[in-house]
Structure formats: structure tokens, C-alpha cells
Amino acid sequence: MGVYFGNYCYVMIIVLVLGAEVRSQLLKNGYYSTSCPKAESIVRSTVESHFDSDPTISPGLLRLHFHDCFVQGCDGSVLIKGKSAEQAALASSGLRGFEVIDDAKARLESVCPGVVSCADILALAARDAVDLSSGPSWTVPTGRKDGRISLASEASNLPSPLDSVAVQKQKFQAKGLDTHDLVTLLGAHTIGQTDCQFFRYRLYNFTVTGNSDPTISPSFLTQLKTLCPPNGDGSKRVALDIGSPSNFDVSFFKNLRDGNGILESDQRLWSDSETNDVVKKYASTIRGLLGFRFDNEFGKAMIKMSSIDIKSDVDGEVRKICSQVN
């Protein structure tokens, strides 16, 4: 029985991997080259217009795409409105960028009605947001269909700022992403923001005696306490990369090396031997080869993430309005 169970698990793993590969093959570069040739340029111009008005929309779009892919797969389910939809989950607090996707969708519907999926718009918008923030660009395979299910209860598997490295690894592995992908994708925090309420406990109540988290450098601790006083506004926004908050670069990894990580889950990447190795490579003071490597690796990791649980014509559709199923 024991041997049979082991073989059964092995077979199941192969089936899951092959299933994921088959679904990822539904995507291809230039999917809309014939059906809607201007699709990508329309998304780009829409994102650029919003970015010009508010550059902080970039991390918002990145986070929106990340949340979409980790719940139900990259199927635009995070865009659906409803009392029990993903947007209602606690983990979805602060999600933004919906108006950018809606704007792009409206423009696309006027040119190519019923052709471009909301899921693809979100994947393209995330890429353009990074590019506009002085980050890398990459070719986004398209052809995703929009899902019909969105449940707040399923958002519980999203990574949390309180997660240990082991738990983070488990959550990423469950989506077919390895440790290298984990560290690389968290590098998106180089342009991210968070609320004081999500890390203030590290400043005042981290230990049973009420002391701060010892992994925070003393000088940075003073800076954070000024930004987030004990009785201050918990919703106050703070950049996750205070050194260069609007530039997509490797300073986030240097912050972790120097004890200047804001989220506990981020700083913990430095204390785990496996994740530390990746962080050190990205944080290297040697510019050029290692400095550019993060740019290259991030694009590859994003392509991999944006291929999670792709929907087909059988279990998906092309929504007319991104916030509701057809």
C-alpha cells in the first residue's frame, strides 16, 4: 500500500505538471496580431496616460496582476466585483489600478469588440507599468481567457507579510514557481508601497518585552519610527524601497542586505540560506553583469507567473466588461 501510494503521488505530480504545460501552450506571442493588431499599443498608451498623472499606479498594476495569478490563475478573476468576490477579501485591501484596466478595455471594445480578454490586458499592463518605471520590458505571451469564478475565500492562499520563508516557498511552489522565482518576483517591491499597519509591530511590539525587530538596522529603525509613530495613522503609505521608490532597480535587494527591509517577509529572505544566495547575487556591488541580471530574470519570472492556470474557451470567456462575467 505504501509503495502504491507513493507511485500514485508521483503520477499525480506528473499529471499536474503536464496539465500546466498544456495550458501554458494556449498562449503565444502576437496572439492578437490579426484579430486586433493595435491591442498591445492601446493598452500601452492607456497605462502611459494614467502613469503620467500618477506614477504610483505602476506598483498597483503589478500587485493586481500578482493577486490575479495567485487566485484561480491568471484569468482576470480579481477584476470581478461582488460581495463574495476576490476584491472583498482582506488580502485584497488596497488593490488599485482597476480604472486603468477598465479604461483600456473600453478602448479595445470600441476597436475590437469581444476579442481581447481582461486577463491579457492585466498581464500587458503590468509589463508596461514596469517598463515605464525604468525597469525591463519583455514579450508577453497572450491568449488568456477570462474566468467566470471569483471567490474571496480562495484569496487565503496569497502570500502574507507575516509568512515565514518556508511558507512563502510552499505558496510559490504550489503555483509552479521555484525559490529563484520567489525572490525575483518579490523584487517588484522596489516600486511597491505598504501601510504602516502592516509593519509597525516590528518597530514597537516585536518581542514579548516590547522591543523592535533586531533585524532592522538601528538607523533605519529611527527613520521608520518617524514615518510611523506608535499612535499614528495606520493607513499611511510608505515606500517599500525608500532609497529609490519610483525606480525599478536592485536597491530593494541591497536594502535586505543592509537590514533595511520594511516587510518582515521581505527581510526574512536574507536569513534563509537558499533565498539569501539569490538576494546576494542581485545586491552585488558589481555593476554591469549582475546589475542587469535582475532585469533579465524578472521578465522571465513574470512570463512564468503569468502562465499559471490559464483558462481556455472551455472554462473561460472574453468579458465585455471586466468587472462582471458575461
* pLDDT at residue 24 in the model: 56
- Model confidence band, residue 234 (pLDDT cutoffs 50, 70, 90): very high
The number of CA neighbours under 13 Å toward the Cβ of 315 is 12
What stretch of H or E contains 195? Answer: strand 193-195
Concerning whether 67 is annotated as a catalytic residue, the answer is yes
Is 54 labelled a binding residue? no
More confident residue, 17 or 224: 224
- For residue 287, give every residue at least 6 positions away whose Cβ sits within 8 Å of its Cβ, in sequence order, or none: none
Is 92 labelled a binding residue? no
What are the residue ranges of helices labelled H in the chain? 2-24, 39-53, 57-70, 98-111, 118-132, 165-173, 179-186, 201-204, 218-227, 251-257, 264-267, 273-283, 289-305
Structural domains in the chain, CATH included, are: 36-155 (1.10.520.10), 163-304 (1.10.420.10)
* pLDDT at residue 289 in the model: 47
Is 209 labelled a binding residue? no
Is 131 labelled a binding residue? no
More confident residue, 210 or 111: 111
Give 259-297 pLDDT, tens digit per residue: 999 999 999 999 999 999 999 999 885 654 444 489 899
For 151, phi and psi rounded to 5 degrees?
Answer: -125, 125
Is 139 labelled a binding residue? no
* pLDDT at residue 326 in the model: 95
Give 90-102 pLDDT, tens digit per residue: 999 889 999 999 9
CA 304/CA 211 separation, integer angstroms: 40
Residues 309 and 74: beta-carbon distance below 8 Å: yes
Q: Which three cell numbers stand for residue 3?
A: 509503495
Residue with cell 503589478: 62
Is 159 labelled a binding residue? yes
Amino acid type, 299: G
Amino acid type, 50: H
DSSP collapsed to 3 states, 276-306:
HHHHHHHHCCCCCHHHHHHHHHHHHHHHHHC
What pTM was computed for the model? 0.89
Q: Does pLDDT of 213 surpass 80? A: yes
Positive or negative, the Cα torsion across 178, 179, 184, 185?
A: positive
Of 50, 65, 67, 180, catalytic: 67
Is 73 labelled a binding residue? yes
